[in-house]
Chains A and B, each alone.
Chain A
Amino acid sequence: MSEEQHDVVLTVNGTAHPVSVPARRLLSDALRHDLGLTGTHVGCEHGVCGACTVLLDGRPVRSCLLLAVSAQDGEIITVEGLANADGSLGPVQQAFLECHGLQCGFCTPGFLTTITAGLRDNPTPTHEEARDMIAGNLCRCTGYQNIVRAVERAAELARDGAPHAQVPHPPEPEAGQLEFEDRDDDNASTGLGA
């Protein structure tokens, strides 16, 4: 009895990839094995280490805590999508190189995506904010000192106009309504209204 396969399209680094996967396929596995994008790494599969962090609609998320089928409507960016169009390193990557912000490199993709989004949202972080930006990712090799430096250096490089991949802002959540709709009027086909 074989498992039901779901045909979904995963949009990764700007390219639409149709895949056929079981519902239980984690996004981390789909990226790595179904799409061959092995830059996203798996360190724990329980959402703690952050090595699997990718951007979904511009926001860092743990790809090990997402089902591939659940990510079908989003735009995913992985570490492979962070370099410049000409293949040169983006400012976050360049900063890591200069600051020796990586050793074994296994946790690094998760930091790169997280920091790319973090600096987009806060291009001039204070030292505390730079530390806070990376507070949800584990690294066992570097002891974090140089990663914090890399965040600050990346902010400098980006300000100095270093070219980098355009990472979109997350979409605005639906604007809040000022009144509640009448719940008795619930429209069966659209749930809570338009």
Chain B
Amino acid sequence: MTTKLMGQKVQRVEDQRFLRGQGRYVDDVASGQDVLHAAVLRSPHAHARILDIDVSKVLDVEGVHAVWTYDDLTGPMAEPLPLLIPHPALTHGRTQYALAKDEVNYAGEAVVFVVADDRYVAEDALDRIRVDYEVLPPVVGIPAARAADRLVHDDVPGNVGARLEQQVGDARAAIAQAPHRLTLDLTVERSSCQPLEGRGTVARWDPDLNRLQAWTSTQTSTGVRAAIAVKLQLDLGQVDVITPDVGGGFGVKINHPWPEELLVPLAAKTLGRTVKFTEDRREHFISTAHERGQVHHIEVGFDDDGRLLGLDVEFWHDHGAYTPYGLIVPIITSTQLLGPYKPQSYRVVFESLYTNTVMVTPYRGAGRPQGCYAMERTMDAIADYLDRDRTEVRAVNFIQPDEFPFDQGLVFQDGRELEYDSGDYPASLEKLKTLVGWDEFPAYQQELAAQGRRVGIGLACYVEGTGVGPYEGAHVHIETSGKVKVATGLTTQGQGHATVFAQLVADELGVRFEDVEVVTGDTRRMPYAVGTFASRAAVMSGSAIHLAAKRAREKVLKIAADALEVDELDLQISDGVVSVKGAPDSSIDLGTVSVLSNPLRYAFDEASKAATQFSVGDPGKPPVAEDDEPGLEGRDFYSPERATFASGMHAVVVETDPETAEVKILKYAVVHDCGNLINPMIVEGQIHGGVAQGVGGALYERMAYDESGQLLNASFMDFLMPYVTEVPDGIDIDHLETPSPLNPLGIKGAGEAGVIPSAAVFAAAIEDAERVALPGLTITAMPISPSDLFGLRATHRQESS
């Protein structure tokens, strides 16, 4: 009797190669082979016209094989890169060219592409290129973008790429008539994903097969494949994209195609050589993507209990110089801002603005952190105004367990209704209060205050729409060896997909976990796929794999029943062997079933010979039935009606230093609901990682642009990602599981949860600590450093006196 692996802390199969240093990341591909290396000359200016590019001196450098500017690009390559997700409200979307044409709009934009014997030589070549720029005054920051004294793109009035309004009910009227009203103005600054491995692409053109093979560190193999085919004018069928091991993505690798993802294949085809591009850390800072920068203006009307009668949110989203990913981030902010609450009326309007900075595409959370911050600061402000407990004010606004499915009346990022499928927010809150010791905290705070110490507590609640469509697919193949080969098209960046998906297959098929091998992100194995983002992989591919395994199981049972001359219902599968219930000697192993499924004329191995002891089928009918195919495979797709909504709540206790304003984390508690868990160890790992990124984003990380559009901290020295010393020593986690009714396994996504409430929860806790000594001190801008807090104290003291 095999134990079910669903819900088990199974050790990861990926670790066997990673721990031995045998991972194969993109820069490892073609190691030891004859490879040329690319480098890119990038604009040093945030906004400039290109007057002239002189590459004549490059040709003197030994080992240079190609130097390209925009003028060398033709056909589709000379057109702008695709605008991946159009939207009617995105009236002025703009994307860059693969190499800048006539102008550059951010410092870091690609201008010249060089291919050389190695990266050192390629960088030497870059040093010899002379570009004449006419520097133009840049637009930096939301205030400058809104003021629009200068434009990023001449044909985009007011620097406004899009304006989008959604509403339910009449929020403005409700606020005007409400017993109480508040206004909040909040800011969140930019951060970025910063996976430890940057981008990279390797490509090889095979003239004998007439095929292009590309490896790229991406979150969407099918997306890159389609882009390469279109831009290089190849048939889709001529292009293979293989996702190697990826050293983290966190969202930045969903954007595609990067210029290099096209230029490298083009170079491979043109030069007839394998070409590789691996970006360095500085390039990752200045030529990939950032996210999080928004300014919010909130007006809220509420009653004596803090119930939201009307919520009106206006915000301005800085999307940088280009909009390849459309309006996904601000749409998610708009919709997910509501969290677990049901305001009686809601209006949200945003403007998505251009600035001469690196473009903005999703970063773990993808707009939810900003929305959560806006909502939770509002809740805290209401509680403060009414002098009520912050959890009570929230509880009064919760969607109740018996109200699911709950339609918020808005359109979500997948173009579908924002309808929450399941959840239990009151239960989560109770668990969180117990976990962090919410009720006991005021006494603790008083006790420490008497000693001159400032401690504070904050909480934040969020809801996360996960598992968005349109679909994912899976292919399960039981080979004659008995091994099960599984493929799904989305990709992996550390989430342990090969392990969790193998758990699902082992359960469904009744095979040993060790006999299942999963491949992700390889268009040769599964060419129909969307990608890994929006915490969708477990839901989408997990469901598809489960369904595909079911189909394979059905075929197994059909053939086995025929071979063993019993009814299918009398059969069970365990450890890869099909046997009759109650008569274990009457059995057939999966490998043999696989042989039987493919009636070849020839027996190649022992397995095929052994299979001849069974006879299946009816000699009066064709060996392969009309509605059937040879082989033991299952293939299926999962396409949900709508997203499934995970949720969670975090609480943090901090201490602030009265002299230095340094912030110390004393306790961090998480209550998390992502439905049924496939592998709790992996889910917990995702939470740990998300919390760490959240700590970084709340207390340490921001993109420091100066007025000329230069990123001042384009390195790990000055962009402060947390080490172990900056994250809490231990995170208390409790789980709730409200299964999703929308997919066969009842699962919800878990990947982004840890980072969503961070800005909100730290702002709340620090504020709570400071108010011990400085009543009324309010935090509206995040992230907050000790220097920022010190300045806030000084301002507060001045204003109070």
Contacts and interface: CB of A to CB of B under 8 A. Distances in A.
Whether the complex brings A and B within 8 Å at their CB atoms is answered: yes
Interface of A: 1-2, 22, 24-25, 32-33, 36-46, 48-49, 51, 78-80, 82-83, 89, 93, 96-98, 100, 102-109, 112, 127, 131, 134-148
B28 A141 contact: no
Interface stretch (B100-108, B627-635, B724-732): B724-732
B15 A102 contact: yes
Contacts of A135: 723-725
A49 B280 CA distance: 13
Given A38-B31, A48-B715, A141 B494 contact: yes
A104 B715 CA distance: 21
A140 B721 contact: yes
A154 to B, nearest CB: 12
Contact of A107 (B196, B731, B754): B196
B688 A142 contact: yes
Contact of B19 (A78, A112, A142, A143): A112
Given A43-B196, A44-B715, A144-B692, A100 B727 contact: no
Contacts of A102: 15, 18-19, 494
Interface in B16-59: 16, 18-25, 27-28, 31-32
A118 B606 CA distance: 51
29 contacts: A2-B62, A36-B32, A38-B21, A41-B247, A43-B196, A43-B247, A44-B281, A45-B280, A46-B281, A46-B717, A48-B717, A51-B196, A78-B21, A79-B19, A97-B15, A103-B248, A104-B196, A104-B197, A105-B23, A105-B245, A105-B494, A106-B248, A108-B18, A136-B723, A138-B716, A141-B196, A141-B689, A144-B727, A148-B724
Contacts of A131: 724-725, 729
A49 B720 CA distance: 11
B693 interface: yes
Interface residues of B, number: 60
Contacts of A138: 196, 716, 721, 723
A37 B195 CA distance: 22
Question: Which residue, of A98, A106, A107, A140, has the highest number of chain B Cβ atoms within 10 A?
Answer: A140
Interface string B473-491: 0000000000000000000
At the interface, is chain A mostly helix, strand, loop or mixed? loop
Contact of B723 (A41, A43, A51, A137): A137
B20 A39 contact: yes
Interface string B667-710: 00000000000000110110111111100000000000000000
Contacts of B729: 127, 131, 148
B67 to A, nearest CB: 18
Contacts of A106: 23, 25, 195-197, 247-248
B194 interface: yes
Given A104-B247, A104-B493, A39 B724 contact: no
Contacts of B308: none
Interface in B184-207: 194-197
B31 A139 contact: no
Nearest to B719: A48
A2 to B, nearest CB: 5
B744 to A, nearest CB: 26
Interface string B726-768: 0101110000000000000000000000100000000000000
Contacts of B22: 39, 80
Contacts of A146: 685, 688
B197 A41 contact: yes
Nearest to B730: A145
A141 B12 CA distance: 15
A145 B685 CA distance: 8
Given A89-B20, A97-B19, 20 more contacts: A1-B62, A32-B31, A39-B22, A41-B196, A43-B196, A80-B20, A102-B15, A103-B248, A103-B495, A103-B496, A104-B197, A104-B248, A106-B248, A131-B725, A131-B729, A139-B196, A139-B692, A140-B248, A140-B250, A143-B693
At the interface, is chain B mostly helix, strand, loop or mixed? loop
Given A44-B281, A93-B20, A104 B494 contact: yes
A170 to B, nearest CB: 22
A79 B754 CA distance: 30
Interface string B148-171: 000000000000000000000000
A40 B724 CA distance: 21
Contacts of B716: 43-44, 46, 48-49, 138
B549 to A, nearest CB: 25
Nearest to A40: B21
Q: Which 3 A-B pairs have the closest CB atoms?
A: A39-B21, A106-B247, A104-B494
B19 A96 contact: yes
A136 B721 CA distance: 12
Contacts of B723: 135-138, 144
A191 B732 CA distance: 59
Interface in B400-449: none
B631 to A, nearest CB: 34
Contacts of A37: 21
Contacts of B196: 41, 43, 49, 51, 104, 106-107, 138-141
B111 interface: no
A2 B62 CA distance: 7
Question: Which residue, of B9, B14, B197, has the highest number of chain A Cβ atoms within 10 A?
Answer: B197
Question: Which residue, of A46, A105, A131, A147, has the highest number of chain B Cβ atoms within 10 A?
Answer: A105
A104 B28 CA distance: 15
B11 interface: yes
A100 B63 CA distance: 44
B614 interface: no
A42 B27 contact: yes
Interface in B110-136: 118, 120
A109 B27 contact: no
Contacts of B496: 103
Contacts of A78: 21
Contacts of A104: 195-197, 245-248, 493-494
B197 A100 contact: no
Contacts of B280: 45
A89 B19 contact: yes
Interface in B279-301: 280-281
Contacts of A79: 19-21
A163 to B, nearest CB: 15
A33 B118 CA distance: 10
B21 A109 contact: yes
A184 to B, nearest CB: 44
A49 B494 CA distance: 18
A43 B197 contact: yes
Question: Which residue, of A46, A82, A104, has the highest number of chain B Cβ atoms within 10 A?
Answer: A104
Interface in B241-283: 245-248, 250, 280-281
A45 B31 CA distance: 19
Nearest to B694: A143
Contact of A22 (B120, B495, B692, B725): B120
Contacts of B727: 143-145
B199 to A, nearest CB: 13
B689 A83 contact: no
Contacts of B281: 43-46
A44 B195 CA distance: 11
Contacts of A127: 729
A20 B265 CA distance: 30
Contact of B27 (A2, A32, A46): A32
A112 B18 CA distance: 11
A140 to B, nearest CB: 5
B628 to A, nearest CB: 41
A136 B716 CA distance: 12
A105 B31 contact: no
Nearest to B685: A100
B406 to A, nearest CB: 32
Contact of A143 (B16, B62, B688): B688
A140 B689 contact: yes
Contacts of B11: 97-98, 100
Question: Which residue, of A79, A127, A137, has the highest number of chain B Cβ atoms within 10 A?
Answer: A79
